[in-house]
Amino acid sequence: MREILNKKASRRAVLGAGLAGASMLAMPTILRAQDRSLNVGVYGGYFKDSFDKNIFPEFTKATGIAVESVAEPTGEAWLVQLEQAARAGQAPADVSMMSQVSLLKGMSTDLWAPLDMAKIENASGLIDTFINKYPDGRVAGIGAVSWYITLVTNTDVYPEAPTSWAALWDPANADKLGLLALVSNSFLLEVTAKTHFGSTDVLATEEGILKVFDKLAEVKPNVRLWYRDEAQFEQALKSGEIPMGQYYHDVTGLAAADGHPVRSTFPKEGGIRDSGSWALSRASEKVEEAHTFINYMCQPEIQAVLSRKVGTSPTVKRDLLDLTAEEFDAVSSDIEPIIPRYEMYQERSDFLNQKWTEMIAG
């Protein structure tokens, strides 16, 4: 022991230590990243890849907080996992991007930790509807991105783009459609209401909902695939196996840009506009980091990057963005969107689910 203490530091050791020290100083983000980290849940697949490539590294560079991205499944599967984990005091992800239906359901069990708006200054630029609040006014979620579900077609099979959602009911399209298989993510009730009943107001009563269901049941002979798995429909759409259906505007645009014969059309009744919000699990201990992250994501510049790279529609006000008219049109439309009636899925979820399952599987 004494021998070691008495040993003079060799020239080589000093050089080595100096080099190691210098390189550590040169990479402060790595040093700090080891201390501060955040698990962020985003939809798996293209979405996550895009965030990993374009967003998270920049965030780590700017703040020193390392991001571990977690692929979350769509639908409410992730909500169920977060809820079960939170009951056990665990958080598989600290911050997650949640759909509006899931966010509302999570609110009913106080799953989301209230956010401190004083720490999220950039949220002032958000469009008001993109701040989700508990009934008592606490903030549960902050708008992350919004996206459209539109009418998509294979350009080889349909040289002319359809103009209306009414194409879903056209007998000429028998056995050609791919539609989402769940009532709470397809929003086909709203589409039917807007297309055939003038507006979604008809869905305010149970009687109205049943009328809409009857009309929607008429599309059944046209549907070849009710899909839960997006990849399955996307692949079939590209190949022309299932040449028409409802799908995400952003992903369809990316597929078209890659040279696949697909197109996304905003029907004259409007595309379905859904959105994802950042929400923090109550079981998370990374409250500070989460606020920093959400604040960062609300910046207009970041929202513009998302629009350009991921193809999502921004949640901040249009005049704050430096997107050109062309860039904005690529991710959005002037046609008034169909806004899902989220509260309906909250209040009548079992009724809707039962009627829906009986309609498609009966």
Partner 1 sequence: MRREPPQRFADYGPLVFPAAMLVIFFVIPFATMIAVSFFERQQGGFYEPAFVFDNYGRFLSLFFGKVLGFSLFLAMAVAAACVTIGVPFTYLLSRSSRAAQIRWLVALLSILSLSEVMIGFAWSTLLSRTAGITNLFALLGLMEAPQALTPSFGAVMTAMTYQALPYTVLILYPALVRLDPTLTEAARTLGASPFKAFFNVVVPALRNTILATLIMVFIFALGSYLLPQLLGRPQHWTLSVLITDQAIYQSNMPFAAAMAVFLVLVSLSLVGLAVYAGRQKEAA
Residues that bind partner 1 (CB under 8 A): 75-77, 79-80, 83, 104-105, 108-109, 181-182, 184, 224-226, 228-229, 232, 236, 239-241, 346-350, 353-354, 357-358, 360-362
- Residues sharing a CB contact under 8 Å with residue 251, sequence separation 6 or more, in sequence order: 46, 230, 234, 311
Q: DSSP alpha helices (H): ranges in 36-187?
A: 46-54, 56-63, 77-87, 100-108, 183-186
Shorter beta-carbon distance to partner 1: residue 52 or 83 = 83
First to last CA, the chain: 81
Alpha-carbon distance 171 to 167, whole Å?
A: 9
Smallest separation (angstroms) from partner 1 to the CB of 277: 17
Shorter beta-carbon distance to partner 1: residue 241 or 327 = 241
Smallest separation (angstroms) from partner 1 to the CB of 37: 28
Shorter beta-carbon distance to partner 1: residue 41 or 311 = 41
Smallest separation (angstroms) from partner 1 to the CB of 102: 9
Shorter beta-carbon distance to partner 1: residue 116 or 358 = 358
Shorter beta-carbon distance to partner 1: residue 238 or 263 = 238
Q: Residue 17 is encoded by which pair of tokens?
A: 């230590």
Element (H, E) at 148: strand 139-154
Which residue from 269, 225, 281, 264 is spatially nearest to 90, judged by alpha carbons?
281
Shorter beta-carbon distance to partner 1: residue 180 or 304 = 180
Shorter beta-carbon distance to partner 1: residue 288 or 347 = 347
Smallest separation (angstroms) from partner 1 to the CB of 221: 11
Shorter beta-carbon distance to partner 1: residue 49 or 241 = 241
Alpha-carbon distance 296 to 302, whole Å?
A: 8
Alpha-carbon distance 211 to 195, whole Å?
A: 13
Smallest separation (angstroms) from partner 1 to the CB of 199: 24
Sign of CA dihedral 203, 209, 212, 216: positive
Alpha-carbon distance 313 to 182, whole Å?
A: 23
Smallest separation (angstroms) from partner 1 to the CB of 171: 18
Smallest separation (angstroms) from partner 1 to the CB of 148: 22
Smallest separation (angstroms) from partner 1 to the CB of 310: 24
β-strands 66-72, 262-265 pairing: unpaired
Instruction: Identify residue 283 by its one-letter amino acid code.
Output: A
**Separation in Å, CA 279 to CA 85, 198, 300, 311:** 15, 34, 19, 21
Smallest separation (angstroms) from partner 1 to the CB of 214: 17
- Residues sharing a CB contact under 8 Å with residue 86, sequence separation 6 or more, in sequence order: 111, 281, 282, 283
**Cross-strand pairs, 95:** 40, 280
Q: Residue 293 is encoded by which pair of tokens?
A: 């992250």
Shorter beta-carbon distance to partner 1: residue 259 or 362 = 362
Which residue from 337, 331, 338, 336 is spatially nearest to 316, judged by alpha carbons?
331
Q: Are 237 and 178 in contact (CB under 8 A)?
A: yes
